[in-house]
Amino acid sequence: MNKERRNNLRRIVGECRRLLENEIATRLLYYGIKSDGRRMNLSQLSHLTPEDHKTRKLLEAAIEKEKVAGLTDKEATVRYIREVSFTYLNRFAALRAMEVRGLIKETIIRRSKFGGRSLRERDIAESNPSLPPDQVLRKSLIEACDEVGKEIKILFDTKNEFSLVFSEDRTCKELIRLLTEEITEGD
Q: What angle do CA 166, 170, 176 make, to 5 degrees?
A: 85
Q: What is the pLDDT of residue 134?
A: 85
Whether 66 is covered by a domain: the verdict is yes
Whether 186 is covered by a domain: the verdict is no
* E strands, 67-176, in order: none
Whether 177 is covered by a domain: the verdict is yes
Q: What is the pLDDT of residue 187?
A: 61
| Residue-by-residue pLDDT tens, the chain, 187 positions | 688 888 888 999 999 999 999 999 999 999 999 999 999 999 999 999 999 999 999 999 999 999 988 999 999 999 999 999 999 999 999 999 999 999 999 999 999 999 999 999 999 999 999 999 889 999 999 999 999 999 998 899 999 999 999 999 999 999 999 998 877 666 6
Q: What is the pLDDT of residue 183?
A: 74
Identify which of 48, 30, 37 has the alpha carbon closest to the alpha carbon of residue 80: 37
Q: What is the pLDDT of residue 182?
A: 75
Per the structure, how many domains does the chain have? 1
Question: pTM to 2 decimals?
Answer: 0.90
Whether 76 is covered by a domain: the verdict is yes
Q: What is the pLDDT of residue 65?
A: 95
Q: What is the pLDDT of residue 33?
A: 98
Q: What is the pLDDT of residue 113?
A: 96
Q: Residues with Cβ < 8 Å from 157, sequence gap 6 or more?
A: 149, 163
Domain with 177, as residue range(s), is 3-181
Whether 67 is covered by a domain: the verdict is yes
Whether 124 is covered by a domain: the verdict is yes
Query: Based on C-alpha coordinates, what's the Rg of the chain?
Result: 18
Whether 187 is covered by a domain: the verdict is no
C-alpha torsion sign, points 85, 87, 90, 94: negative
Q: What is the pLDDT of residue 138?
A: 94
CB-CB contact of 86 with 169 (8 Å)? no
